[in-house]
Each structure stands twice: as structure tokens, then as C-alpha cells.
Copies of this chain bind each other. A is one copy, B any other.
Amino acid sequence: MKYSNELLLLGKEAKEAAKVLASLDSEDRNRSLYKIAENLMVNKEQILIANKKDCEEAISNRLDDSLIDRIYLDDKRLSDISKDVITIAELPDPLDEIFDIKSLPNGLRIEKRRVPLGVIGAIYENRPNVTVDFSALCIKSGNSVILRGGKEGILTNIALSGLIRDSLVDTGVNKNIIQIVKSTNRDLVNQMLNMKDYIDLIIPRGGSKLVNMVANESRIPAITGGIGVCHVYVDEYADIDMAISIVNNAKVNRPSVCNAMDTLLINKKIYQELLPKIANVLFESGVEIRCDERAFNILKGHNSNLVVKANEDDWGMEFLSLIASVKIVDSIQDALKHIEEFGSGHTEAIITNNSYSSDKFLNEVDASAVMVNASTRFNDGGQFGLGAEVAISTNKIHARGPMGLRELTSYKWIVIGDGQIRA
């Protein structure tokens, strides 16, 4: 494949700079992060001016209000972004780890040392905070990053990455660890996905269309994350109040994110009692319920605006909004079958007080997180105590589930001898 000169130069610079970064100690990397946080406050005017141009361009192109809101920055948002950088600086150093230490019978001492991956390729949509977030996570973990954000926020992203590069220079670190693709030509995304010699891992951040495109097209290992078709199965042995509370939380706490519940599965032995109670709670938040036949027959009189019949597309759908599909299942076996067919391997939960059911569910469900009696919303790096989160991976290779800083690293084997040779 032929690469654009811009991309090739970024790749070479990023790779070269990564070597230097890997040898910096924790304090050096943190000093740069604090400087970035500071400069985001000191130089906020230049960022806001660039952002204003992006927003005006978006308005003149009649983009959706929701898209414009995603691009938009103000003092408060910039201040939050700056605070996030400090939060990342204060996390433990992922590179400060030696593990699997062994002494062999022949006297060799072996261990693994955590090292950066090298160069991360970040392909994302329009939120400018992602530019800063990825940069900070990569600096902290000793990686270079090549940033490729959406064209609607390009001026903001160029301003932000410029500020970050200046902050690196201020603290004596090679600025080339942060690279931004300035051309908005879409071909460059395809080229990035082929640059095996320059990029070690691709992380897409955005909607399922972007993530699936990257998963299908990339010749570099790529994280598939953030697509969550999440089920909650309420077993016949569930505590009714707990089920209502968890289902409600899983659906309405933050419906626009990947770990929100999409489909509720209820055991046939309890649905007649449970479903109306759950529905009444969900209706209070305006949740539309798309029902299979048995569920519809129970709910049809309850709230004509919010109760509709499900069609085939409603199973396996990531709603990302106040909509849930509901299906009544004959057994845990049927629930497992449905999850296997329609789940995306993200987060699946069972509500039950029966250990046979919970063990079966934990053993048989193949997903990044499998939960008993807890809200799907907990599948999150922050909630799991990882600090910052790069993505929630639904891959099985390299890292699965919430990916923190450690998942942006590899390791090397260290072997210390005093003259050992192999027999």
C-alpha cells in the first residue's frame, strides 16, 4: 500500500520518539502531564477560538445539534479535561512492574518487565476531550500516539495537540510522541489501518459503524470495544425488589453508553408478577418497552405510548437510548441461548438467589463481564478500580473488558545468568 507523505512522516517520527519515551522515568512523564493540564488552563483562549470556528462551520453545514454539542467546548469543559489529565498523572505508573519472577534450577534468574507497546493509532469521532485523553494515557504508559479525529473538530484537535506538543517541549520531552493527522482525507484512515511497520495497536473510539469498520479493515491488531448489546436475565429465583432496582439502574442510569441494558429476559415463572412492577418503574423515566408476545399481553393495557410489540430487529439491538426490549423465556437455558445468539460479548447479568443458576450463567456466558445480582453499568474501568479507561474491549486477544493503562503495555523477558549454556 502507498502511504501519504504526511502519514509516513508522522509514523516515522512517532516510532523514533517512542524509543526515547520508553526510557523516561515516571516523574518525567508525570511532569509533562501536569504541564499539559496547566497549559490547558493558561492557554484556553487559543483552544476556544479554534473550537468556535469548528462550531460555526458545523452550524453552517447544518449538522445535528447533538453533533455540535459533542464538538463544543467552553471554560467548564476545558477545565474538566484539564482535571482528567491530572487524574491520569496521579495513577500508578504502569511501567513500574516486574512480574513472574523465577529462579531456575540452573541458576538463571528470569522475570518479565512491563514495557510500552510502542505506537498507538487512535481513530475517533468528534469529542475533543478524546484528543487530550488519548495523549495523556499514552504519555503515562510510555507510548507514542497518532491521533486521527473526526473532521468536524479538526481545528480544535490541531490546537489541542499543538498545546500538548508545546507542553512536552517545555518539559524537555520529545514532542513527536504526539502526532495528529491534519488532513481530513478519509483515505488516510485506511492507510493508518495498514501501517504495520509504524503502529502497534489501533484503538477506535466512536459508534459501532466506526468500530466495525476498523475491526474489519485493520491489518494491525485493533481493539474492538464499546459495542454493548447487554442483557439482564431475571431468573425464577430472583429477589423481586432487587430485580426491579437493577433493571431500572441498568437501563436508565445512563442509557447512551455501551454498558446500559438493552434487552430484559424474564423467566416465565415470575413474569406475570414481575413485569408490571418493572415496567411501572421504567415508565417513570419514559422508557419505551418493546415486548415479545407474552410480555405484550401483560403490558398492553398499562401505557399505550410506551408499550410496543417488538420486531426481529429489537433482539441484538444496541438502543443507546430509553428503549428496552423484553422477552419472556421458558428457562435459564433459553436465556443463555438468546444471549449467545444476540449478545455482543460485552456485559451480561443474571438476577438470582440460586447458586445452580448463577454458576451456570457465569460458566456458560461468553462475555467480557458476567455479573450476578449487579447492574451492567459496573463494567467500567473506573468502577473496577483501574483508574483511567482506554476502552472496554470485546476482543479475547490481548485484553478483554475494561482496558486501563496496563493494557497499553507489553512485557519483555529478562534473563540474568553467570555463564549458563544449554546442554
Contacts and interface: CB of A to CB of B under 8 A. Distances in A.
Interface of A: 19, 22-23, 102, 104, 108, 110, 113, 115, 117-118, 196, 200-201, 215-216, 218-219, 221, 239, 242, 245-246, 248-250, 253, 340, 358, 362-364, 366-375, 377-379, 383-385, 395-398, 400-402, 410-422
Given A363-B23, A385-B102, A396-B117, A415 B245 contact: no
Chain A: interface secondary structure?
A: mixed
A372 to B, nearest CB: 5
A372 B415 contact: yes
Contacts of A402: 413
A354 to B, nearest CB: 14
B378 A108 contact: yes
A279 to B, nearest CB: 18
Nearest to A351: B419
A324 to B, nearest CB: 16
Given A108-B374, A371-B414, A375-B422, 17 more contacts: A108-B378, A117-B396, A200-B396, A200-B397, A216-B219, A221-B221, A242-B419, A248-B421, A253-B422, A373-B416, A373-B419, A377-B421, A384-B413, A397-B397, A397-B410, A400-B411, A401-B413
24 contacts: A19-B366, A23-B364, A102-B384, A196-B215, A200-B397, A219-B219, A221-B395, A242-B418, A245-B421, A248-B421, A253-B421, A362-B414, A371-B415, A371-B417, A372-B417, A373-B420, A375-B417, A375-B421, A377-B422, A379-B413, A379-B415, A397-B410, A401-B413, A402-B413
A368 B412 contact: yes
B366 A412 contact: yes
Given A118-B396, A397-B117, A397-B221, A413 B368 contact: yes
A416 B110 contact: no
Contact of A415 (B23, B250, B378, B412): B378
A415 B221 contact: no
A369 to B, nearest CB: 4
Contacts of A110: 384
Contacts of A395: 221
A417 B221 contact: no
B413 A370 contact: yes
Closest 9 CB pairs of A and B: A374-B417, A249-B421, A396-B410, A377-B422, A371-B415, A369-B413, A242-B419, A221-B397, A398-B398
Nearest to A259: B422
Contacts of A117: 396-397
